[in-house]
Amino acid sequence: MRVSKYLFVTLTASFIISGCQETGDDENTDESAAGSSDDTQSTEVTQEQTQEQPEEAPDNSVEELQQTDDEALNRMIDKSEEIESYESTVVLQSSVDGGSRSELDADIKFRKGSENNEPQFHLASEGEDRTISKDGRTFYNNGSDWVDISESASIEQLHLVKYQNVVSTFADIKDELETEENGTTTVYTYEGNSQEVLQTFQELFAVQFGTIDTSNVENSVEIEVDSDMNLIQSIDYEATGKDAEGEYELSGDVEFTSFDSVEEIELPESVR
């Protein structure tokens, strides 16, 4: 069964799958041709990662980070539990062993569910609404129709780069980071070849490089935190390296553009 490229974007919230744009010699092909190419010419990493996507949520949940010796981190964790909604932009890119560059540029809205309701989620990409979820009903736009994927897609699959997971990522690598105060903004940075840092961001972005040798990876991390509000504002991450087959690259830019201002998310009118 051939599956729309946009379905893959929403099912993994990742970019090394057929939901991404492929930049290179074929970037001017039409959407139909791109969808076919995605199904038949995916890179080895693309197929392995689709198959190896873990079903369980990461162990580094916010709840497990409550007891720490870092008061500033504790304030960030406490604040994350108070957030009812947010908007974010997620820009992800990768290339492996000289292959086409895969890209995802998504605008996301998220509202926490009430005690009896599922969270609400809205993803737009390339200027079009692509996925909407509300009250346990989830639909994706395949380019011509809204398709019900409620039985096959959970919020955990749809939206992996949640704010709470970003806080968890920050907590995991905080001891590796250098700190610089800039007014009310604290900037945390890291430059180095830690494979643990790479693995942490692979988990955040739901990406694995499979059998690629990442022992010589070079990581670059910059995280901005509003120190007055105890909120992460943005993450800028890049990893580059080379194995016996060639070079690989992974980058992810995440920016949280608003908190607690997302209005009620509505399902497409055609499926209400």
Give 221 or 12, the one with higher predicted confidence.
221
Average pLDDT over residues 232-250: 91
Closest Cα to residue 100, out of 28, 160, 165? Answer: 28
Give 68 or 248, the one with higher predicted confidence.
248
pLDDT of residue 182: 92
Structure tokens at 6: 């946009």
Length of the chain: 272
Give 160 or 253, the one with higher predicted confidence.
253
CA 158, CA 150: separation in Å to the nearest integer?
11
Question: Range with the lowest mean pLDDT among 62-71, 111-120, 156-165?
Answer: 62-71
Mean pLDDT of the chain: 78
pLDDT of residue 58: 43
pLDDT of residue 30: 40
For the stretch 62-96, pLDDT in tens is 555 655 788 999 999 999 999 999 999 999 988 87
Closest Cα to residue 6, out of 29, 28, 39, 54? Answer: 39
* Residue keyed to tokens 């998310």: 265
CA 10, CA 139: separation in Å to the nearest integer?
10
Structure tokens at 214: 């990442």
pLDDT of residue 100: 65
Model confidence at 173, in pLDDT bands (50, 70, 90)?
A: very high
pLDDT value at 142 more than 50? yes
Which domains, and CATH codes, for the chain?
A: 5-262 (2.50.20)
CB contact set of 71 (below 8 Å; sequence gap of 6+): none
For the stretch 175-218, pLDDT in tens is 999 999 999 999 999 999 999 999 999 899 887 777 788 889 99
